Structure 1
Amino acid sequence: MTSPFLSVERRGRVAILTMSRPESMNAIGTLEDCDNIVDTFFQLGNDRSVSAIVLTGSGRAFSSGGNIKGMKERQGIGVLDQPDSTRANYRRGVQRATRAMLDCEIPMIAAINGHAIGLGLDLACLCDIRVAAESAKMAASFIKVGIVPGDGGAWTLQKIVGYSKAAELFLTGRTFDAAYAQSIGLVGTVVPDADLIETAVGIANEIAANSPRALRLTKKLLREAQHGRAHDVLELSAAYQAIAHETKDHAEAVAAILEKRAPNFTGD
């Protein structure tokens, strides 16, 4: 029996997800891999004891993306026997994984430990925060394989770096390093390789120290604000604020500030 694509480690309110196919540089090769991603994010999303997620890779890669051998053999998550089947395959597999990550209300940090190529880069872009090891290499390189970003990367990358820079990266397919990724705002923090996980977990713990419900509402509001009109976002902000004001954690936060002590959040 094949091991799950994602292994899960818990550190308090933080879940560390590790892509566990080092022999293939954590390429996503099967529908079962996609199903595991969907199931993992669904389960974590329903777990109110999880307040932050760190996503990283095992071995020398974050993720090399899709499985090139599978493309040649017309099996796996990509091309099949004819266009209609291939379209359905993308929707059934990798796009379900994309939707699961987009729908996740838990703050997510990508700890980019090595190569993040094609689909691998897009997985990192689906996270809210990106931290990269100094040795990390990245590429939006679908064009180098003669295909387009079928996983939704055309939407996510330009949300982060803007249309012009995203177009440059997709249309050239060039590989770039962590320092360049930081210079264009794709990565927020670059650290020595040995410090990557602890840095990412440190950020996750800083996030997880806050009210669990307010965290999820804030992330959802940020995501909605990416494509909403200002007036619509204002209405949604008022609705979410009305919910947040009625939580016990809000009352606890106010009390803790007035009493000059650390808050004790319960998620209620």
Structure 2
Amino acid sequence: MRSRTPIAPEAFVHTGHVLEDHVLTITLNRPERRNALNWRAYDELESAFRAADADPEVRCVIVTGADPAFCSGDDVGEIMAGPDGGIGQRKDSVIHRPANPTAMAALECSKPVIAAVNGAAIGWGVELALFADLRIASEQAKFSEMFVKRGLSCDVGGFYRLPALVGAEKAAELLFTGDLIDAAEALRIGLVGRVAPHAELMTQARALAARIAGNPPLAVQALKAGLRRSAFGDPREIGGWAMDTIYRLARTEDHKEGVASFLEKRAPVFKGR
């Protein structure tokens, strides 16, 4: 057990104060916004994964959210509601890079990552769960790749990981409809590996992480690298294409209508332009 640099209590992403059994827990910490991501939260999450990857004491990572949600995706009001669909507001934003750097930080982390999905995983919240190597869901968890409902496409996770986990046809159904599914359905189709009672979720996640962290770390990292190569290939090419596509769609009228209808709590009217 080793003390870590304290994280400011107002931080949107907590990495805890103690590294226990070589397992680091990353917790999204905007519960009042259902852990929705704004630019600052994206930056903090990227930094947390990069730091975990660089720390030789970290052998396994758990990513979760502060109850009641895992991650409800992009903060619509802060990211999507501005000019150019909001997504292009920052000159240094993820949309102006070859691939989403937060996604790449999660995908390129050499340590095994477990997603403990404690509640709703919506939009980029599903993507975050997909970036993990293993997923344990609370019985209260729900999942939706709802990008299509905002007139957008998904990030690299939906293209790179989802079809390999649930099959191409089921992935197409989830992406094209944006349907919401519960934990039982997620388990049935292979989106998650197990479902736990909500009160036992973190106990099960930590037990699994401890078993992984107890093995030789270099061998575990080599196994992870081999699995990624054999099952998924290189995510950067598809990640760059995904960012280009999101950037284009963010400037459409349908995207603006998807955001406006959400904020105004009404049914959208899409026009294909």
TM tier, shorter chain?
0.7 to 0.9
- The one of 14, 18, 43 aligned to 1:7: 14
- 2:74 corresponds in structure 1 to 66
Shift of 1:12: 2.0
- 1:24 corresponds in structure 2 to 33
Shift of 1:40: 1.3
Shift of 1:196: 0.3
- 1:141 corresponds in structure 2 to 146
* 4+ runs deviating over 3 angstroms: 75-78, 85-89, 91-94
Residues 70 and 8 (structure 1), Cα distance of their counterparts in 2 relative to 1, 3 Å cut: same
Residues 212 and 196 (structure 1), Cα distance of their counterparts in 2 relative to 1, 3 Å cut: same
Shift of 1:76: 11
CA RMSD in angstroms, aligned pairs only: 2.4
Shift of 1:153: 2.4
How many angstroms apart in 2 are the aligned matches of 1:44 and 1:196? 22
2:61 is the counterpart of 1:53: yes
- 1:254 corresponds in structure 2 to none
Instruction: With the length of structure 1 as denominator, give the TM-score of the two structures.
Output: 0.77
- 1:172 corresponds in structure 2 to 177
Does the 8 A contact of 1:5 with 1:19 survive in 2? yes
2:211 is the counterpart of 1:202: no
- 1:259 corresponds in structure 2 to none
How many angstroms apart in 2 are the aligned matches of 1:176 and 1:63? 15
Residues 151 and 78 (structure 1), Cα distance of their counterparts in 2 relative to 1, 3 Å cut: farther
User: Where do 5+ consecutive residues of structure 2 fail to align?
Assistant: 1-7, 234-273
Shift of 1:70: 2.3
- The one of 18, 24, 35 aligned to 2:43: 35
How many angstroms apart in 2 are the aligned matches of 1:114 and 1:63? 8
User: Where do 5+ consecutive residues of structure 1 fail to align?
Assistant: 229-268
Residues 96 and 60 (structure 1), Cα distance of their counterparts in 2 relative to 1, 3 Å cut: same
2:133 is the counterpart of 1:125: no
SS at match of 1:198: helix
Residues 97 and 77 (structure 1), Cα distance of their counterparts in 2 relative to 1, 3 Å cut: farther
Shift of 1:78: 4.9
Q: How many residues align?
A: 224
Shift of 1:226: 1.6
Shift of 1:146: 1.7
How many angstroms apart in 1 are the aligned matches of 2:84 and 2:67? 22
| 1:119-268 to 2 correspondences below 5 Å | 119-227=124-232
**What one-letter code is carried by the residue in structure 2 that aligns with 1:23?**
E
Report 1 or 2 for greater relative contact order, CA contacts < 8 Å, sequence distance ≥ 6.
2
SS at match of 1:174: coil
Shift of 1:3: 3.0
How many angstroms apart in 1 are the aligned matches of 2:107 and 2:149? 26
Residues 204 and 89 (structure 1), Cα distance of their counterparts in 2 relative to 1, 3 Å cut: closer
Instruction: With the length of structure 2 as denominator, give the TM-score of the two structures.
Output: 0.76
